[in-house]
Amino acid sequence: MSAVERAYAKVNLCLHAGERRADNYHALASLVTFAEFGDELRADESASLELSIAGQFAAATPKGHDNLVLKAANELRAATGVKRGARLTLTKNLPVASGLGGGSADAAAALRLLNSLWRTGLDDNALAQLGRSLGADVPACVHSRSALIEGIGEKIAPLALPRLALLLVNPGVELSTAAVFAKLDDRRGAELPPLPEFADASTLVIYLRDTGNDLEAPAKSLAPVIAECLSALSREPGCLLARMSGSGATCFGIFEAEEAAVATRQKIAAAHPGWWTESTRTR
């Protein structure tokens, strides 16, 4: 018996940060959505628990028990008493340390996949609670649905957001989240403007223009190529908004049509062959 689960890319449409807390985390407020594109995790029945990694970004992905997929599998076994194993294959399609929640999405996919394969019977809320020990982004990634995220990721309020045509662009830079937060000086505070009902992509973009990503400035100071990436997106016809996701360095453009996103991807890929690009839609 085998099964496959997608680890959906997480995109921070906006991210406002508060002051550092006593536990060294920063309180955040973020509108989060998830792309249809992501990593892929396959599980086959096995007596032992093992992980192999393939795909474009396999070489940069942590191996063995440092990988969050195996950590998630062991957390699920410990919580449920399951003794079964699985032969896991992770196909890494997302850049590592790129602001797309790749490792957290992989862990969340492992929880969903093995919960089904091992028939442990936990619902998504229970899996999200279990995932908190693995990382602040894991609970939201378990649900993989648009949401308002607050606190350090533990407060998740599902939102109905319009589907968006996206172009994801990473300029070939890995950024440490801790290093970006260490350079954070200017903060909007951990709150967003009051949320309206979003009738379509245009109303969402209008709202987003009154927000930002507080981590963009410190990320640019560490990797100035991010500014070039944002410029390459924003000057293209059909791009409604260009912004960095999470702690970077991946940037995204919201486009008025999928065709415009695809055309821009081709143009940027030709001009910057070392950059990673992917046109997709939100879920």
Question: Which residues are part of the catalytic machinery?
Answer: 10, 137
Three-state SS string over 196-257 comes to: CCCCCHHHHHHHHCCCCECCHHHHHHHCCHHHHHHHHHHCCCCEEEEEECCCCCCEEEEECC
Identity (one letter) of the amino acid at 6?
A: R
Token pair for 149: 């995220």
Rounded alpha-carbon distances, angstroms, from residue 183 to 89, 157, 191, 214: 36, 29, 20, 11
Token pair for 176: 């440490």
